[in-house]
Structure 1
Amino acid sequence: MTAVGYASTTGDTRKVDVAGDTMTGELVLPDSSPDTALTAASKGYVDGVAATKAATSTQIIAGTGLTGGGTLAADRTLTVAYGTTGTTACVGNDARLSDARTPTAHAASHAAAGSDPVTLTQAQITGLVAALAEKAALTGATFTGVVTVDDANFVVLGTGKGYRFRPLGSRLDCEATGSDWIFSVFSGTNFDGTQHTYLRLESGTRLAHACGKWIFTNTADSAAVHTIDPVDNQLGFHGATPVAKQTVTGSRGGNAALADLLTKLATLGLIADGTTA
């Protein structure tokens, strides 16, 4: 006898083969507590497992310091709050995920012209504020100690003119450029009071102007030997008191030498020849 509706090898295609088969529809079991997870699961089993997982998930979240960073909805959907604080979950670009390894050489990137320049205030560098307080500013400063220019020229430049003290030449040179050079002294203590000018050296021609009363002495502090006083138009030589130009009078008679001497002294401007023949 042959069973109707059964294949010779697979049996009835409407039945599940006990040796193993694939169901194409849902399976509903009346028992809501299957013994193993591999048994065809009912909603009761799923609900039980989900509740356990939800409790475990909440404990995990709390245990890793993310309390408040995630919310488990009634449908077991976990909503995570992302951010950069201690109560939020990290995302891929969070700084907290940075590698703590020793960085590769990148000093150039932090330079002024680099891609990531580092800006520091003076206060952030230990001792810098105090050190800078002892330095002279490029815009001007008052020095309280000796200033030494070691083995270099000292140059002062103005607009289109200047002067320099030059020890690097074959001699010691005091030079000006672009303008006449005036040598003067003020009577006050801060470039004030009366200005007394003594020399003017012209830049356009080789001409020097000596101003005021000049005395020629053996030392800077000794008495006058020769005196030239253009202020009062007086001269004095060999220690004599300066006087105005003298006039020689009287008759020189037939003395040719005397006549020649008087003529030449008058020519030099040292005397006025008032003599007669």
Structure 2
Amino acid sequence: MFFKKLAATALFMGAGLVHAFSPQAGTWVVTSELDGKPGRGFGIDVQNTTLVMQMYAYENSGQSTFYLVVGDVVDNKVTAPLTKYTGGRYFGSGARSGAAAGSPGNVSIRFTSGTTGFITFPNEGEVAISRFNFGYPFAPSSLKGIWNFTSMGSLGLTTEAVNLTVSGSSTSTGNGVVASSDGLFGCEHQVSGSMAGTVLCAKINAQGQLQRGYWFAYSVNEGEGRMLNSSAALTDQLVSIRRLTTPSGIGTGIVFKDSEQTAPTLTELERQLSQLAAQGASD
């Protein structure tokens, strides 16, 4: 019921969010070359305004090679030389230092979001690129885990964390609700209608009344979207979403993780076993 009501706001969301963004760090691919077979790809990391890209590609002989790109991102665009390296350390070798071995030319990238963009390689036309998601299918199981929602806008700064653990039925536009154990917060991937390709969440009270909703798009562990109020109306609250644990409960940050099983102290157990053995020997 509430998901159907929230879906009515989709007409007002078409423009999405308009603000500065930083491309997500990770594995990127040329979208048209994504066919499940070995090919070209690149790792992108942007820190502050510095982009570092490592690309694996092939020579015209078929031999694999790699390039390094370092450049400054300005207005979501960067142009910098593709630099090839050779002579470095190989598996089993001693210490060896690689050396720059020229460049086939510049590469130009313009990002259209944190997970999409376009790239122009030397001697090639512009092609679409995207962040490659190989760990989370667009399925209910991918929504399980602890999520944090932080919103900012005229309603102030708010945050809440939820643990999605319970699988439910699918709505008319989604592929299966995943909810908190108390059934008061649930999310669902939207697979049809004007919200297809995004995630919709609803928070209700014990009487079944809508408290708020969230609509967002995400990639791997991060997402962005908007908050909806208790009347299912779109607000100006920008929402940042962060996955805190994987569906199996493993922390996604650099500190938080499952508590490790510590080895028990066996001193007393060993003492008792020694006494039992000594008693048995004397009987």
> By the TM > 0.5 criterion, same fold?
no
If the TM-score is normalised by the length of the shorter chain, which range does it land in?
Answer: under 0.3
Q: Please report the TM-score for the alignment, with normalisation by the length of structure 2.
A: 0.16
Does 1 or 2 have the higher relative contact order (CA < 8 Å, sep 6+)?
2
